[in-house]
Structure 1
Amino acid sequence: MAYETILVEIEEGIATITLNRPEVLNALNSQVFNELGEAAAQLTADQSVRAVIITGGEKVFAAGADIKQMASATAVEVSSSVRPSMIAFNRIENMPKPVIAAIAGYALGGGCELTLTADVRIAAENAQLGFPEIKLGILPGGGGTQRLPRLIGPGKAKELIFSGDFIPAEEALRIGLVNKVVPAGQLLAEARKMAGKFAARGAVAVQMAKSCINEGLQMDLDRGLQYEHKCFSLLFATEDQKEGMQAFVEKRKPNFKGK
């Protein structure tokens, strides 16, 4: 599929999705969401892809939703227009492959919500993250009120959402909103390095580990432990498990095939 608002590149098993609306600071609109959702579906189906990076480039991640598109919308129109973002975000979050958000510059509102769908977030030192929706008389409507508290706890999430303030990369690191902060010039290289590390692991095990964490967060502890036990046991039916353990015994590097 030919995309107009994003770029998709695949190299050595790593797919990079780059938001590509620099003239409006990568503002998110329905077309962006539709294309993100389609890209997520295609990359999920592509067995050659082992890890995914989402970025806006080295200057800005995404400065939020396209307010001009939303300003005159009715409640019914907004309800309908939000669906593409929900579909896209859910597809990204549930991809059976590790997803890394590489964040430079502004990641605000819907842009910050997009980062929350990733498994890991790496921020450049110049990154600014926040949820300014409250200053417009609305609230985060792309999963921010649900994913953010699960990531950093309800108290900090409420502080960010109620205030609408932006926070710098180092503060985002301190509260657990991002995993790592690096110099701006090293952002994409660091994201690729981490993606390469994930891609080198057994793909089935990574997929099941991600499922255990994501699904387990929706369960009570007892059911989560049972689900983990089931996934752990199933991995012993895979070729990767046999290769991984045999390589350990033979003191060599494993050759995982994702089977």
Structure 2
Amino acid sequence: MSVSFALKGPVGWITLERPKAMNALNFEIVKGITAQLEAWKNDPAVRAVVVTGTGPAFCAGADLKQVSAPVGPGEMDFLDTIVVFFDTLRSFPKPVIAAVNGLALAGGLETVLCCDIVIAAQSAKFGDAHSNFGVFPGGGGAAILPRKVPANVAKYLLFTGDSLPAEDMKTYGLVSEVVADGELIARVQAIGEKLAKKSPIVLSRMKKVANEAADKSAADALRHEVLELRNHQRSYDIQEGLRAFVEKRAPEFKGY
């Protein structure tokens, strides 16, 4: 299989393994990741998920040989399938970290845009690249990228098809941290393990409010936050956290 799945402690790792094809997304990869995310969604052993690649690329986008592949009547074509993948990754209720080991282009960049935290190797580069082949983005290149970086930077990447280094994308706000190439995996695992010590229900509710905030006025977003807080006050985890604070010990969260 051209994608592998592994549970390293509380962190689920998704690794694209088509290095000769620059880890291009095909039906097998997209369907496989979507199914694995659905399996991990309600698995309490999985507290965070990482997406990464092997070889010189994180992901160079969709396999253009499959974009226009014919399908039977009523069957999902590649666009249908990859949109479901992006939606599943974007709405996953647990933290998702992109460990960007190399080139992240087109659908690879759109995969990064679906993740909550982006940690990049020093040698990584980011670009849209759709315009290089007359292809229109469908996973957030034109719609989400301008929400993640300044509009002029997004348009530069969209229009020129050029790529920018990880340090630049950190300056523009897409990348959270840049690390030496050889330190990427260990650093991301450490972040995943740190997140695993937090209350799962807190992180899930924070993610929901944060993801939806950009589509609301500040007042509506604040109302949503207060509503989630009111719901959260009924949870075990907030009571456990407050007890742990008073008792000066580490909390033992249960996720409800």
Alpha-carbon separation, structure 1, partners of 2:65 and 2:88: 26
Give the TM-score of the pair, scaled to structure 1: 0.92
Say which of 31, 34, 54 aligns to 1:34: 31
Tell me if the contact between 2:10 and 2:192 (Cα under 8 Å) persists in the aligned partners.
no
Secondary structure at the counterpart of residue 64 of structure 1: coil
Alignment of structure 1 residues 1-259 onto 2, 5 Å = 4-57=1-54, 59-70=56-67, 80-259=77-256
- RMSD of aligned C-alpha atoms? 2.0
- The offset of 1:225, in angstroms, is 0.9
Q: Which amino acid aligns with 2:190?
A: K
- The offset of 1:68, in angstroms, is 2.9
- The offset of 1:73, in angstroms, is 7.4
Secondary structure at the counterpart of residue 89 of structure 1: helix
Q: How many residue pairs get matched?
A: 254
Structure 2 spans left out of the alignment, 5+ residues: none
Residues 135-171 of structure 1 deviation map (CA, whole Å, 9 limit, x = unaligned): 1122222221112111113222111101111111111
Alpha-carbon separation, structure 1, partners of 2:112 and 2:45: 24
Tell me if the contact between 1:58 and 1:185 (Cα under 8 Å) persists in the aligned partners.
no
Q: Which amino acid aligns with 2:41?
A: T
Structure 1 spans left out of the alignment, 5+ residues: none
Alpha-carbon separation, structure 2, partners of 1:256 and 1:70: 44
Give the TM-score of the pair, scaled to structure 2: 0.93
Secondary structure at the counterpart of residue 119 of structure 2: strand
Alpha-carbon separation, structure 1, partners of 2:69 and 2:86: 24
Alpha-carbon separation, structure 1, partners of 2:213 and 2:139: 22
Alpha-carbon separation, structure 1, partners of 2:57 and 2:40: 24
- The offset of 1:57, in angstroms, is 3.3
Secondary structure at the counterpart of residue 237 of structure 1: coil
Alpha-carbon separation, structure 1, partners of 2:8 and 2:133: 40
Tell me if the contact between 1:16 and 1:53 (Cα under 8 Å) persists in the aligned partners.
yes
